[in-house]
Amino acid sequence: MTQHSTLGVAVIGTGRMGSDHVRRIDEVISGARVAAVVDIDIDRAERTAKSVEGCAAHTDAAAAMADPAVDAVLIASPGPAHESALLEALARDLPVLCEKPLTPDAAAARRVMEAELRLGRRRVQVGFMRRYDTEYLRLKALLDGGSIGRPLMLHCRHRNAGTPPGFTEQMMINDSVVHEIDATRWLLDQEITAVTVLKPTPSGSAPEGLSDPQLVLLETAGGAVADVEIFVNCGFGYQVRCEAVAERGTARLGDAHGLYVNAAGRWGGEIPQDFLARFADAYDRQVQGWVDATRRGATEGPGVWDGYAAAVVCEAAVRAQATGGRVTVEPAERPALYGG
């Protein structure tokens, strides 16, 4: 691969997330350009490509990666398509930013990890963007600094205004709670060892067949506990909150964002309606950080091990969701490449 002074990126998937990344690379961040886009819908790929000067449209990820103008790959396609694109990129020794999940299941994530281990160096960053959110970064620094003592519990809330047709209970874990799973591992620097899922009486707004909301309990190797309220049809907006309870104090994020207005006898602010609005700055920092590291020849941030670990916990959580019991988490041994 010949790396250019401006990083040429192939964006795989031009749906909502992929299109937002195309816009971000083209208009917001520096040091990179969109050299190619890939989508199985060629009309959509071509429409997206026409919005960016010098961008090629493809229906095949391998063809895009073979383009001499492509130095790196951003994967924003649906989760089931991630494994093949990741293996292709690793076979070509291309750096990758892969949106979560790394893969939808732990076995596929293990195969990706084995491919990266054969390279002998990290090439993949996983898109757990909360690690780039200002509030999460401040909470992480506070906990790492030890001023409020050892963290004992995390109380997390993850609410969406609504779900699209076909959204399943398993997706509540794999598409939503996966963020809290990674955040718990990262904030506490501890692996998750067991999962329990509790289901209250479903909301009247829950689609038929979907038990919503749910409470997910995560136990860690260090003896901490995290509880996650996942409510994907709350109706009023998108909210992510997290409170850390430590030995000598607590800290909470997610209470307020944006402008508060006092008028007409009322006060208040706006609740974001989706994750792209709530975490816009975090996505910008994530992609800029990936570009900067890639241009230096480095891979930083959450990696393949984090994606694999999250997939193992998600599988345990889905089993707990189905059985109502406590399910232990049994990952493979952490390889030395990932700090094992």
Per-residue pLDDT for the chain (340 aa), expressed as one digit of tens each?
456 689 999 999 999 999 999 999 999 999 999 999 999 999 999 999 999 999 999 999 999 999 999 999 999 999 999 999 999 999 999 999 999 999 999 999 999 999 999 999 999 999 999 999 999 999 999 999 999 999 999 999 999 999 999 999 999 999 999 999 999 999 999 999 999 999 999 999 999 989 999 999 999 999 999 999 999 999 989 899 999 999 999 999 998 766 777 878 888 877 778 777 888 999 999 999 999 999 999 999 999 999 999 999 999 999 999 999 999 999 999 999 999 7
In which residue are the tokens 């390279």 written?
Answer: 119
Q: How far apart (Å, rounded) are the C-alpha atoms in residues 74 and 93? A: 14
Supply the pLDDT for residue 3: 62
* Type and span of the H or E element at 143: helix 134-145
Supply the pLDDT for residue 2: 53
Supply the pLDDT for residue 8: 98
Q: At the fourth CATH level, which superfamily is domain 7-130+281-302?
A: NAD(P)-binding Rossmann-like Domain (3.40.50.720)
What is the layout of strands, in order, in the sheet containing 7-12?
56-58, 32-38, 7-12, 72-75, 96-99, 124-127
**Sign of the alpha-carbon dihedral angle for 167, 169, 175, 176:** positive
Supply the pLDDT for residue 274: 76
Provide the 3-class DSSP secondary structure of residue 158.
Answer: strand
CB 236 within 8 A of CB 225: no
Supply the pLDDT for residue 259: 73
Q: Where in the chain are all domains bearing CATH 3.30.360.10? A: 131-274+310-338
Which long-range contacts (C-beta less than 8 Å, at least 24 apart) are formed by 280-283? 281/133, 281/134, 282/129, 282/130, 282/132, 282/133, 282/134, 282/136, 283/20, 283/21, 283/24, 283/129, 283/132
CB 283 within 8 A of CB 20: yes
- Pick one of 3.30.70.20, 3.20.20.450, 3.30.360.10, 3.40.50.300 as the CATH number of 131-274+310-338: 3.30.360.10
Q: Where in the chain are all domains bearing CATH 3.40.50.720? A: 7-130+281-302
